[in-house]
Structure 1
Amino acid sequence: MTGAQAGGSAAAANQPEVSNMLTFDIEEWFHANYDNVVPDLSKGSSFRAHMDTLLRLCSEAGCKGTFFVLGCIGENYPDVVRAIADEGHDVASHGYGHELAYKQTYEEFKADVKKSVDILENLTGKPVLGYRAPSWSIVERNLHYLLALEELGLKYDASIFPVKTFLYGIPTAPTEIHKPRVNGRELDLFEVPMSVMKLAGRNMGYSGGFYFRFFPRFFIKQAIRSANRQGKSAIVYLHPREVDANEHQLDLPAKEHFIHYYNVRGTEAKLESIMKSFRFTSISEHLQRQHGLKW
């Protein structure tokens, strides 16, 4: 019995059918969307080491996940993308070059996603089923961009965060997996929104990125248990750079630096503990089992 099975059976004793979803946004340390920030690319990168860490953690915990990969990562690290697929994880699209979707025209967005999908499918020999926008950049004003994903034959989107921040979010968006409606029509596409909890009457993230680094381990575990007791699945998301406190950092203003880098030092151990305490799978496997996804 693996650590995930042992820990998961204890953590999910009241709701054994519920599995959570493990996701990673696969990009370099310098992929961000802050104005007037120009990274020094001559510094190099520890990207391969980060990916080795993530794949090792998944293997040790007996977890499968969804890796949302930039197309340019596929070009620069084809062996890494193949390794993700060879270990049984989903390879999904994160776009090509980490451009914000709401700063692209519809046609630019569609071409960007298609370019990334073509690169990833050529590398893995498997269909790309899903997409997540860089920095959660599907918002109310470009929600119709989901039509492009449907047109490209993708099966799900995981770009919507039902919160409101200065960078992203649709606070009124449904918090359950659903088929979104655009222009009065239900799309043949699942929307898999990021997990939120209610805090002081407002939606708040708890299980990914800054929220994962900010909240203590016991708090995140309790939030996941609470969701599972209600029959709901939680979604974890992180970036490769978040498991390495020694990776290069962007020169950001104080608030942005705090959001981007707070408590990176504790992320790997926290992630390992949570992965071994709950049942995790990929988004496509979850949709196949729970929502009848076929492809």
Structure 2
Amino acid sequence: MTNLLTFDIEEWFHANYDGLTPDRTKGSSFRAHMDTLLQMCSDAGCKATFFTLGCIGEDYPDIVKAIAREGHDVASHGYAHELAYKQTREEFRADVQKSVDILEDLTGTKVLGYRAPSWSIVESNLHYLEVLEEMGFLYDASIFPVKTFLYGIPTAKREIHKPIVNGRELHLYEVPMSVMRVAGRNVGYSGGFYFRFFPEFVIRKAMQSANRRGESSIVYLHPREVDPSEHKLDLPSKEHFIHYYNVKGTQAKLANILGAFAFTSISEHLKGQHT
């Protein structure tokens, strides 16, 4: 069973907490983080999907070209990490289109997938998936079947599917984030905070269970999560815990998971399993 490896390609200061004005003049170790992630993919012999901000394409065109050159998916993460549910439908369309134009110009290949910043496709703006369909996307990967104070659609389907919006099945796939059932609730386990929070044996067990059911597990991480020395946002205690807990252990845990399971990109998986 092949699992799906994804990264949200953004800087350490890209976040969507209210009232946050990070000091972007501090610089970053973004290039080093990307070298690390690309090398880890190479070492594991796997392909991944890199959901990339359009502004990253403007600031680091060589890195976007390197991602594509090494055979990975370059997918859209929007232009500047703005929450989709705070945009009008037309603002959303313009934002996604801006990112697509930048990324396609750099790579020379069609952008097939999209993931909203901070999982910001929720019930109130689910119809924005129609925009992605109209733009010719193969898939969306923005829905997290959980409920948190930041995001989530807890009743969403857990498997890859073609979503129904306004009574119509769309001509694109929804690739929801992986969850496990804990005390009757959906809980993430294989990405971001959940990947950092849960011990490796819990992640392995959940992935094995999903694979036995014939389901792919989806890993997602950010470049900043492989470097505990990267600059940090000044956040309240709860948000700081969510954003940074156990960053120091992420790189080694990811290397172990990549060595224990088979991974590929979302578009390669869809071509092989859902066409």
How would you bin the TM-score normalised by the shorter chain? over 0.9
Q: Deviations over 1:107-142 (max 9, x none)?
A: 000000000001000000000000000000000000
Residue of structure 1 in register with 2:250 after alignment: 267
Q: Specify every segment of 5 or more residues in structure 2 that has no aligned partner in the other structure, as ranges.
A: none
Residue 214 of structure 1 deviates from its aligned partner by 0.1
SS for the counterpart of 1:276 is: helix
Give the AA of the match of 2:19: N
Q: 2:205 aligns with which of 215, 222, 228?
A: 222
What is aligned with 2:233? Answer: 250
Cα deviations across residues 179-227 of structure 1 (Å, max 9, x unaligned)? 0011111100100000000000000000000000000111101110111
Paired position in structure 2 for 1:177: 160
**Distance in 2 between the 1:27 and 1:102 partners?**
19
- What is residue 191 of structure 2 aligned with on the other side? 208
Q: How many residues align?
A: 275
Distance in 2 between residues matched to 1:150 and 1:279, nearest whole Å: 29
CA distance in 2 between counterparts of 1:119 and 1:283 reads 21
Aligned partners of 2:214, 2:169: CA distance in 1, in Å?
A: 25
Structure 1 residue corresponding to 2:69, chosen from 86, 93, 96: 86
2:44 maps to 1:51: no
* AA at the equivalent of 2:83: L
Separation (CA, whole Å) in 2 of partners of 1:230 and 1:159? 22
Distance 1:157 1:41 in 2: 30
**What's 1:132 paired with?**
115
User: How far apart, CA to CA, are the structure 2 residues paired with 1:38 and 1:265?
Assistant: 25
Letter in 2 for 1:225: Q
How far 1:37 moved relative to its partner? 1.1
**Other-structure match for 2:55:** 72
Pick from 80, 100, 105: which aligns with 1:122? 105
Q: State the distance in 2 between where 1:35 and 1:249 align.
A: 16
Post-superposition, which runs of at least 4 consecutive aligned residues in structure 1 deviate over 6 A? none
What's 1:13 paired with? Answer: none
Cα deviation digits, residues 58-87 of structure 1 (max 9, x gap): 000111000000000000000000000000
Q: Do residues 197 (structure 1) and 192 (structure 2) align?
A: no
Is 1:159 the counterpart of 2:165? The answer is no
Structure 2 counterpart SS, 1:197:
strand
Tell me if 1:111 matches 2:94.
yes
Using the size of structure 1 for normalisation, the TM-score is: 0.93
Task: Give the equivalent residue in structure 1 for 2:221.
Answer: 238
| Structure 1 unmatched runs, 5+ | 1-17
Give 1:253's aligned amino acid.
P
Match of residue 46 from structure 2: 63
Letter in 1 for 2:8: D
TM-score of the pair, normalised by structure 2: 1.00
Instruction: Quote the residue 1:5 is aligned against.
Output: none
Separation in 1 of the partners of 2:43 and 2:161?
32
What is residue 100 of structure 1 aligned with on the other side? 83
1:150 pairs with 2:133:
yes
CA RMSD of aligned residues (A): 0.4
What's the CA shift for 1:230? 1.2
Q: Work out the CA distance in 2 between the residues paired with 1:215 and 1:256.
A: 17
